[in-house]
């Protein structure tokens, strides 16, 4: 639960990563609400309380959160910086305790 997934062209879901263009190119993103999106569902937009562990960076109120390339599918406060990585905002922090407004942008940039 809590990991960002993207919907594949066949309707199934997989963990999304900024390291893989196939997982980020404007595809529908959701936060898994359980161990499997297919059985537990996904949050497509709304508020989500991020877990304290694993750490995903700082919870700065108003700051953007990004699709990560190395946080196991969790959003992160640091935009990916490596060559070829996809930078996609997935929401904004609304509290210092990990409450995320999940509202992924459809657009992305490539480093």
Q: What is the pLDDT of residues 11-52, one digit of tens each?
A: 888 888 888 766 556 789 999 998 888 889 999 999 999 877
What is the average per-residue pLDDT within 87-94? Answer: 93
Query: For the chain, what is the total number of helices (H) and then of strands (E)?
Result: 1, 10
Q: What is the pLDDT of residues 62-85, one digit of tens each?
A: 999 998 887 677 888 888 888 888
- Nearest by Cα to 50 from 105, 95, 108: 95
Q: State the pTM of this model.
A: 0.86
Label residue 59 by pLDDT band (50, 70, 90): confident
Give percent of the chain with pLDDT exceeding 90. 30
């Amino acid at each position: 639960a809590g990991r960002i997934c993207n919907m594949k062209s066949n309707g199934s879901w997989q963990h999304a990563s900024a390291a893989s263009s196939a997982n980020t190119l404007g595809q529908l993103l959701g936060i898994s609400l359980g161990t499997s999106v297919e059985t537990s569902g996904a949050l497509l937009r709304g508020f989500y309380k991020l877990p304290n562990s694993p750490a995903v960076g700082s919870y700065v109120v108003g700051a953007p959160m990004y699709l990560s390339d190395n946080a196991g599918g969790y959003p992160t406060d640091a935009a990916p910086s490596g060559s070829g990585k996809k930078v996609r905002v997935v929401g904004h922090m609304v509290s210092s305790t990990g409450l995320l407004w999940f509202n992924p942008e459809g657009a992305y940039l490539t480093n």
